Amino acid sequence: MEDETGDVLRRSLRIVEALLFASAQPLRAADMAPYLGEGTDVNGLLLVLQAQYEGRGINLVRRGEGWAFRTAEDLGFLLRREEHETRPLSRAALETLSIIAYHQPATRAEIEEVRGVATGKGTLDLLMEAGWVRMRGRRRTAGRPVTYGTTEAFLDHFGLEALSDLPGLDELKGSGLLSGRLPAYLQIPLPFDGGLRDDEDPLDPSDLGDPEPEDGEI
């Protein structure tokens, strides 16, 4: 009976391992559950697999609610060529992304208040096309502005397990991601990436098209 249990465990670990290797995006436990026996503790399997890969060239890491195999941090220099070939974000996009990350859910007007300048719609479109920013809902205020938040792809790209791993204000300013145009009351990190808050309504069907038609300067 013990051998049979061990065989089931090894097979389950192999299935989880194969699913993760075959996926280009982080997978949640719920995504893998259908491929395993009913009642399987997928989270437990992930922790076992994570321990098995500890210290190797690739590690099993958590990104929000998802899991993925990624190159070990100390071997990140191997990816420098890929990083150089990736088109860098503009300063406006970096500042906008940083503000959304720390202040989500954030509206366009709130982003502009922190930046001190208008935020072009193209900047938000660029961040959404990259998969790092998503429309969350609409704020229950006049005009029902769209609220924005980050995605699990954002966590994955920047090597964060959760938003709580974001650097502090001093480190963020030191890296150049935020300029000195910051209001005195700004305190970070204060992000919220859960479900809709009490001050948010679900997105309208039309939001999948063009949520904010007005133009602005980047």
In this structure, what CATH number is given to the domain that contains residue 185? Answer: 1.10.10.10
Give the model's pLDDT for residue 157.
82
Mean pLDDT of 75-84: 56
Residue 214: band (very low, low, confident or very high) from pLDDT cuts 50, 70, 90: very low
Residue 208: band (very low, low, confident or very high) from pLDDT cuts 50, 70, 90: low
Domain boundary among 19, 51, 77: 77
51 and 116, same domain (yes or no)? no
Q: Answer yes or no: is pLDDT of 35 > 60.
A: yes
92 and 145, same domain (yes or no)? yes
What is the average pLDDT score of the chain? 79
168 or 37: which leads in pLDDT: 37
In the beta sheet, which residues pair with residue 146? 138
Q: Answer yes or no: is pLDDT of 87 > 70.
A: no
**Residue range(s) defining the domain that contains residue 107:** 87-208
Give the model's pLDDT for residue 15.
94
Among the ranges given (55-69, 99-113, 140-154, 157-171), the one the predictor scored with the smallest mean pLDDT: 157-171
Contact residues for 157 (Cβ-Cβ < 8 A; gap 6+) = 132
142 and 187, same domain (yes or no)? yes
DSSP 5-40: HHHHHHHHHHHHHHHHHH-SS-EEHHHHGGGS-TT-
- Rounded Cα–Cα distance for residues 96 and 119 (Å): 8
Asked whether residue 214 is domain-assigned, the answer is no
69 and 109, same domain (yes or no)? no
**Taking the complete model, does pTM exceed 0.85, yes or no?**
no
In the beta sheet, which residues pair with residue 63? 66
95 and 172, same domain (yes or no)? yes
Angle (nearest 5°) at CA 209 between 130 and 119: 55
Give the model's pLDDT for residue 84.
44
Give the model's pLDDT for residue 216.
38
- Rounded Cα–Cα distance for residues 203 and 144 (Å): 10
Question: Per the structure, how many domains does the chain have?
Answer: 2
10 and 115, same domain (yes or no)? no
Mean pLDDT of 159-163: 82
Residue 20: band (very low, low, confident or very high) from pLDDT cuts 50, 70, 90: very high
